[in-house]
Amino acid sequence: MGKEIRVASRQKEKASILRGIPKNLPSLVLAYRLSQKASQKGFDWPDLSGVLKKMDEELSEFRDALSLRNRRRIAEELGDLLFVLVNVGRFLGIDPEKALKGTLKKFSDRFHFIEDSLRQAGKSVRQSNLIEMDRLWEEAKRRKRIRSK
């Protein structure tokens, strides 16, 4: 009995602190939880400036990968960049999942404005061009700012 307890105790010591985090979580949530757990054990930057420095480093590596046109490396560096952005959010107390959902709603609202405006002008998105759609995008942003005041 004593030997079983010692073995179980040693196995528990070897178990990763990351082990209890479900791997089927949405990626942004999983990234947040993994970095949060690691931080609790001291594996973290001392302050926001360290994370921002890492973000700059990852962005530079992403740009390097783009210039090499190596899709595998581009995907890897994009993942690294996304992960460090999750950590920026964690340092600021911002849930990355909620932040992205807010941005996606904003994008959808603006794009719907573009579609509606074009429809009122008797056009479709396919009949428009980027210059016209960008002008409408800026108009949607302007109207939102006015409504928010």
Domain boundaries, the chain: 2-94, 99-148
Helix (H, G, I), strand (E, B) or coil at 42: coil
Return per-residue pLDDT of the chain as tens, 149 residues.
545 544 444 555 567 888 888 899 999 999 999 999 999 999 999 999 999 999 999 999 999 999 999 999 999 999 999 999 999 999 999 999 999 999 999 999 999 999 999 999 999 999 999 999 999 999 999 998 898 87
| pLDDT tens sequence across 124-139 | 999 999 999 999 999 9
pLDDT for res 5: 46
Contacts of 89 (CB under 8 A, 6+ apart): 32, 95, 96, 99
CB of 62 within 8 A of CB of 77?
yes
Architecture of domain 2-94: Orthogonal Bundle (1.10)
The sign of the torsion formed by the CA atoms of 127, 129, 132, 138 equals: positive
Question: Which runs of consecutive H residues, i.e. helices, occur in 69-94?
Answer: 71-92
Entry pTM: 0.81
